[in-house]
Amino acid sequence: MQRYFVQQKANNDHFIIDEEDRHHIVKVMRMEINDQIICVDPEGKQAVCRLSEITNSSVVADVVQWIDESPELPISITIASGLPKGDKLEWIIQKGTELGAQQFLPFSAARSVVKWDEKKAVKKIDRWQKIAKEAAEQSHRTILPSIINPMSFKELLKKSNDFDYKLAAYEEESRQGETSVLSSTLKKMKNGETLLFVFGPEGGLAEEEVQQLKDFGFGLCGLGPRILRTETAPLYSLAAISYHFELLR
């Protein structure tokens, strides 16, 4: 059943759907009155709904049944990626959303080849947010991940104070056989707590960045014996977190 994130809560068990989602329902899916969809409101509440009215500007969906279960991870994960080349960040956002991340935080790292262009910022972030929305709908999420405006490494360090736990993937730790930091951190975490997970761009994190992360209380962790690409490491980590919190329990 097609899923849509609606912008407002239900009013008297009616959802109003407009703009792009209205276009998708009518023009792409070619739905008609009495067809059913799932609506997810801004608080993550979801319901099976029946289309009751279609106009030139909106669609009205009546709640048939509220859904209680949630597919969300019990902890909130923010993926901080050093700006990579090409469309790698789009891949991280799409697949990271499917794997349960709640936020994505791009940052300018010392080894980032890509330089953030403020003139193109709005269009870029809008595109990333659209990718996250489509991935969240496809994977039946109840939370729409947010994209934080790209920031400097110094700003990232300051932002890290907002989180309960913070980790950084560092390939030198993998080479030295480190295997316990990620596992031990997850074992300490409780439902509802937050984790900031930092990943470097191509070429990894610079030594001075690693030292600053350590100074700010980050745990440095390896991700197995193989060296992973910048777009692979966040997905490996999210899969490991899902295994720990969802499959083992």
Helix H or strand E encompassing 232: none
Do 178 and 215 fall into the same domain? yes
Residues of the chain with pLDDT under 50: none
Residue pair 46/9 in contact by the 8 Å Cβ criterion: no
Cα–Cα distances in angstroms (integers) from residue 173 to residues 164, 227, 230, in the given order: 22, 10, 15
Each residue of 42-88: pLDDT tens digit?
999 999 999 999 999 999 999 999 999 889 999 999 999 999 999 99
CATH of the domain at 23: 2.40.240.20
Q: Collapsing DSSP states into helix, strand and coil, what is residue 81? A: strand
pLDDT tens-digit readout, 208-231: 999 999 999 999 998 988 889 999
Rounded to an integer, what is the distance from CA 169 to the centroid of its chain? 17
Q: How many CB atoms lie within 10 A of CB 193?
A: 13
Question: Which residues span the domain enclosing 58?
Answer: 3-67
The token pair that represents 19 in the structure block: 């703009």
Same domain, 119 and 202: yes
Last residue of a domain, one of 18, 39, 67: 67
Q: Are residues 150 and 213 in the same domain?
A: yes
Write down which residue in 67, 87, 102 finishes a domain: 67
Number of domains in the chain: 2
Looking at the structure, do residues 62 and 86 belong to the same domain, yes or no?
no
Contacts of 110 (CB under 8 A, 6+ apart): 153, 205, 206, 208, 209
- Of 50, 67, 84, at which residue does a domain stop? 67
